[in-house]
Amino acid sequence: MASANDPFQFQEFEEAASLLEADRDATTITIDDEDTKAEKQRIAAGFIPDGDDEDRLASDDKTELLSGQKKSAPFWTFEYYQQFFDIETHHVRERIIGSMVPWPRKNFIHVYLRRNPDLYGPFWICTTLVFAIAISGNISTFLGKLGKPNYKYTPEFGKVTIAATAIFSYAWLVPLALWGFLLWRNNKAMNLVTYSFMEIICVYGYSLAIYIPAVVLWILPYEWLRWCSIMVALCLSGSVLVMTFWPAVRDDHPKMIIATMSAIVVLNTLLAVGCKVYFFSKPETLIPVEHAPAAEPFIV
């Protein structure tokens, strides 16, 4: 700073304003109160805070504030990834429930993530879904062909790889594309709300959580049940995604809004229907042979 004569001499630091006048280019740090910053964001996003269920989440804010600012390490160190696992059991539980129950005013990222996106949820939900699809598909094929004389049970283990490829590419490539797209649109139309890449991955990962019970339900060989559950899961998961990304595209050109939202919903639908069609063959018709002697059962 000022005196370089005696390094051990106590220096009186002048007011920050006068220092800034002296050197305009000096770096300045403003430490905003965490709560007021979050408040500004919420008001910008059109979210009016709810009274009672903020209390539990607010206490988490205080602990985070007390523990200090997040350090950011370079991305090749272990500590960099550790910051994405800074969650507790009840956080994960709340986030999963929040992804299944879309509430009109609650934006998933603002309410549940609160600047603390995690990689635990997306990764393990995707892994569970992969194995759930493979195992349920195998069980349903087995149950469907149970009575047939020629049927030889096979575990169909190769399908795990296919399921893993499909689900992990949906959960990681689509957020990447969406993030890039939002970044590009942000240059054109100034949006108040921007989401970081990790937050988008987090939302997509948690939005897949509703499919796990749906997939387990598909074991039962009733077509109407399968289509009902897929519709319900699609609606819930799609609405969570739409409501989350609405503030980010709201200020944009209407055509862009429609294009983005429909792309999100269509990709979600494609994943769900594609998984159902590929892994869960239609249960074979129980019409006995005398009705249609020449027809082979049609297996999808």
Q: Which residues bind other proteins (CB under 8 A)?
A: 78, 81-82, 84-85, 87-90, 92, 120, 124, 127-128, 131, 135, 138, 152-159
Shortest distance (Å) from residue 13 CB to other proteins: 38
Nearer to other proteins, 193 or 215 (CB): 215
Question: Looking at this protein, which amino acid is placed at residue 94?
Answer: E
Decide: 210 and 236 in contact? Cβ < 8 Å. Answer: yes
Nearer to other proteins, 36 or 89 (CB): 89
Q: Residue 62, SS3?
A: helix
Nearer to other proteins, 103 or 153 (CB): 153
294 sits in the region (left: phi over 0; alpha: psi -120 to 50; else beta) called: alpha
Decide: 210 and 237 in contact? Cβ < 8 Å. Answer: yes
Nearer to other proteins, 45 or 162 (CB): 162
Q: How far apart are CA 121 and CA 208, in angstroms?
A: 10
Shortest distance (Å) from residue 197 CB to other proteins: 18
Decide: 269 and 237 in contact? Cβ < 8 Å. Answer: no
Shortest distance (Å) from residue 127 CB to other proteins: 7
Place of tokens 């990962």: 205
What is the sign of the dihedral through the CA atoms of 243, 244, 247 and 252?
Answer: negative
User: Please, which residues have CB within 8 angstroms of residue 112's CB and are 6 or more apart in sequence?
Assistant: 94, 95, 98, 99
Nearer to other proteins, 85 or 222 (CB): 85
**Nearest CA among 55, 83, 89, 59 for reference residue 69:** 83
Nearer to other proteins, 131 or 181 (CB): 131
